[in-house]
Every structure is written in structure tokens, then in C-alpha cells.
Amino acid sequence: MAGLRHVVAGAAAQAEAKLNESTIRLAVTGLTRAGKTVFLTSLISNLLAMGAGRNTLPGLQAALEHRGSGRLRSVRVVPAGAATTPWFDHVAKLRDLAAESPSWPPRTEDVAQIALDLEIDRGAVWQRFRWRRIRLELLDYPGEWLLDLPMLKQPFAAWSRATLDLFGQQPRAAFGTPFLEFLRAVDPDAPADDALIRRGHELYRAALQACREKAGLRYLQPGRFVAPGARADAPYMWFFPLDQSRDPPLPGSNAALLRDRYDAYRTEVRTQFFDRHFTQFDRQIVLVDVLGALHAGRQAFEDTARAIGEIAGGLAYDNGSRMPFRPRRITRVAFAATKADHVPALRRENLVHLVRALAGGVGAGVPATTHAVASVLATNDGKITVAGRPVEVVLGLPLGETTQRPFYPGDVPSGLPPESFWSDRYFELPVFTPPRVDASGVAGIPHLGLDAVLTALLKDLLA
């Protein structure tokens, strides 16, 4: 009888855990300068503060109360244990924000993870169903890595043609001049010259980085050439696009070595990222620096739109029907335009419409929401008088200055910008000093919209 009671008790415990416990793997990504690191730091800090009784995420608390789930009873960081993925050290990043001279934390360069346990008090009469625990596993990774998705389906020759076609257009052609001049002297059929190929790789990477840093371009492949992570100097990375005279290339030739390294790169990123991490996501946040793209000009904006379109399309892949691996189905996606505190409140809804237009490629059956957020609220809304009329502005302290002043960023279109936007464009985008925050994190971090993003992604679990 004792054995039977043990089996029944074990079965009851499993059933109770299944009803009361959930694990959600939530990935956070975005292209360079979208603010992934700051977003995660603020999200974690505000969840921990809310678990300690501070109403730092009012939208999430309202959703809990509306659905009869009671309140967030506690939040704790799950110990790292023996995890092999690097740790997201939110405490160190909070110290940057809380320093005597506050600074923005360094940007994401590789994969990092952290997990939180959220315990929700349902207020149920029956003790066994009084609480619900959600383990929120958060993964931070560079959005540039998702731009490698199309490469998994492209052989080297096809990828080379497409990439060199792009470098035949401005502004890539201007920033890629040293690489393109080098390329004209490369004989694809000559015996493989490792030193030559290494030099070409360095020139190609420099061209991509110049396109990103100087022209604001974002559709740059391979993604790890601009966000390399831990394997930046591995030999399989030493390749570049080359217009081949033969397909397949001559064995032992320059073209053959480039093709072999390209194929090795695809295998490596598939096994070390897409199969290991991407296939395990349940939900995804994609952060988009819409304002930065507008500020950089038409070519940068269109390039960003193409990159976001590729990312959105990649998130819709399911069941191996369009990809060479079988990804776990991503059930919810949130696209968020960041730096919403750079524009006055009345214009923030335009950011939501604009990021929705950029993310229009998410496939049917994948619920997607769009938002405007400021992970750390660094401005206040205000008004100034221009030619006798009030103008909505934001008041902020530019980085490196000592006095707060008003800023009018310019018009934010509510959809893809019309031709007139680019012909008569004015757009100002300063970098503001973050506000001082409590280094202990107990008070949370002032923000805009993080609670709406989290509620949209978790609402099916809040009941």
C-alpha cells in the first residue's frame, strides 16, 4: 500500500506542476544600436522590483488583476548553475546606469542568458491552485545573426552574385572600394592562396563595418562579420564573395577554398546557434531603432527595412517546410520601436504604425504585436513657442553636456515614408544621458512601454 501511495502522490505532484508551472523561452534581439542590452537590464530590474512590491510594470499588474490572477508574489533570479551559455550580468549593467556619471552599458556582442522565476498569487480557495510559477528564460543575441538565415539555403555562387550586386550600388560601392579593387585582381581558378584570401576577408569585413558605422546600413551578410561573437578569428570565417568563372570551382582553387569555408561557416552557425538556440525559442522580441534609421537617411532606412523584413520572415518558418532544420514554433512575437522617449507623447503612436509596416512579413499564424518603448526614460515631455505657436518637444540632457534642453526631433511618419519625407527632411537624434537610478535596483528603472510588451507576450499564461 505504501508503494501505491507513493505512486499516487508522485502522479498528483506531476499533475499539479503541469497545471501550475510553465517555462517560457523568450529571446530578445535587434540590430546594432536597437538597445537590446538596456532593454533586458531594465526589464529584469523592473520585474525584480515588482516582485518586491513596487508597481514598476503597471500594465502587467493590471492584466494580472483583470484576469483574476491576483498579483506577482515574488520574482527571483535563477542561479546560473552549470549553464554553458554566457551569463547576462544585469547587475554589472545596472551599475553603469547607477554610476556617479551614468553611462549606457556596452552593446551585445554574443549570446547571453538569464532566467527568472515569477510566482503569481492566484488567490484561489484551493491551496494547490493558489499559485502559478512561470520560469522566464531570457536569451540575448545580436539580430545580425538572423540575417544568416537566407544563407542557409544559398550555395556560395548564388550568395556571391547577390552580395556583389548590392556592392555595385551606392553607398556600398563607395565604402567597399578597397575590397572591390582587390577583388578585380583575384583569379578564381588560380591555386588557393591562403594569405590572399585572408587579406580579402579583412577588406570585406572592413567594408561591411564601414557600411554599418558610416552609412547606417543594416542588411549586411554574413551577420557574424559585423557581430562575430566568440569565434571571430576561426579559419572558417576567412571568406568573401567572389564571382566565379566555373561552378563547381576547380579543386584546389581560390574559389574552391572560399566555397568550402562558406559551407563550413553555414554548418557552424547552424549547429552552434540555429539548432542549439533558435530552435528552442517560444517567444521573440525584436527591437528596432526606427528613429536611427530615419535619421540616417533614405538608403539606411530602406536597408533597415529589408533587414527587418528578412528577420520577420525568418521568425515565421515552421516544421522544416522552408528551412534545412526543424525549428520549435515561435508562438508569439513582439516588435518594438525603441527610443520612444526621443519623440513627444503625441507622436509615439506613429512609431508603432511605422514598425508595424516594417514587420509586415511575419507569417500567418504567428501572433505579432507592435509597440513603442523606451527601456530607460531619459526625457520629459515639454512645449516651446515657435513663431507664436506651441510646439511639442522632449526635454533631455545630451551626453557630455551639463544642461537639459528641448529637442524637436522632426516629423515621424505613421507608415513607410513618402517621397516628400526624404526631399524635405529634418530629423534630430541626440544621445541623452541616462537618469540616475538606484544601484540596488529595488526601485526599478523608469521606462515607457516595457509592461505592454511583456503583457502581450505572456497574456495567455496570466489567467
Q: Which of 250, 274, 298 is the last residue of a domain?
A: 274
Domain end (from 217, 244, 274): 274
Chain-centre distance of CA 53, in angstroms? Answer: 29
Q: CA angle, 113 as apex, 107 and 115 as ends, to 5°?
A: 130
Residues 309, 446, single domain; the answer is yes
Residue 33 belongs to some domain of the structure = yes
How far CA 291 is from CA of 296, 300, 410, 411, in Å, comes to: 9, 11, 10, 10
Say whether both 167 and 202 belong to one domain: yes
Rounded to whole angstroms, how far apart are CA atoms 328 and 347? 37
15 belongs to a structural domain: no
**In 339-430, at which residue ranges do the beta strands (DSSP E only) sit?**
368-372, 379-386, 389-396, 405-407
Residue linked to cell 505504501: 2
Contact 366, 331 (CB under 8 A): yes
**166 with 204, same domain?**
yes
347 and 240 in a common domain = no
Q: Are residues 304 and 269 in the same domain?
A: no
- Please write the tens of the pLDDT for every residue from 74-95: 899 999 877 778 889 989 999 8
Does residue 120 lie within any of the structural domains? yes
- Flag whether 398 is in a domain: no
- Quick one: 320 and 360 in the same domain? yes
14 within some domain: no
> pLDDT 10s digit of each residue in the chain, 463 long?
555 555 444 444 454 555 578 898 998 988 888 889 999 999 999 999 999 989 999 999 888 886 555 678 889 999 987 777 888 998 999 988 888 888 888 877 788 899 999 998 866 544 555 678 999 999 988 888 888 888 988 999 999 999 999 999 999 999 999 999 999 999 999 999 999 999 999 999 999 999 999 999 999 999 989 988 766 678 899 999 999 878 888 999 999 999 999 999 999 888 877 777 777 788 899 999 999 898 888 999 999 999 988 888 777 654 344 444 444 567 889 999 999 999 999 889 999 999 998 887 665 567 889 999 999 999 999 988 877 888 888 999 998 888 999 988 888 888 888 888 888 767 778 889 998 888 887 889 999 999 999 999 998 887 6
Q: Clarify whether residues 437 and 373 are in a common domain.
A: yes
- Asked if 218 and 269 sit in the same domain, the reply is yes
Q: What is the total count of domains within the chain?
A: 2
Domain co-membership, 447 together with 338: yes
Q: Answer yes or no: do 130 and 184 share one domain.
A: no
Residues 305 and 341 in one domain: yes
Q: Which of 249, 274, 299 is the last residue of a domain?
A: 274
- Asked whether residue 450 is assigned to any structural domain, the reply reads yes
- Domain CATH for 75: 3.40.50
Query: Beta partners for 28?
Result: 140, 285
Residue 150 belongs to some domain of the structure: no
Q: Is residue 250 part of a domain?
A: yes
Q: Is residue 201 domain-shared with residue 121, that is, in the same domain?
A: no
Residue-range definition of the domain harbouring residue 369 = 22-141+283-379+433-461
C-alpha separations of 23 from 118, 134, 322, 429 in Å? 10, 6, 27, 39
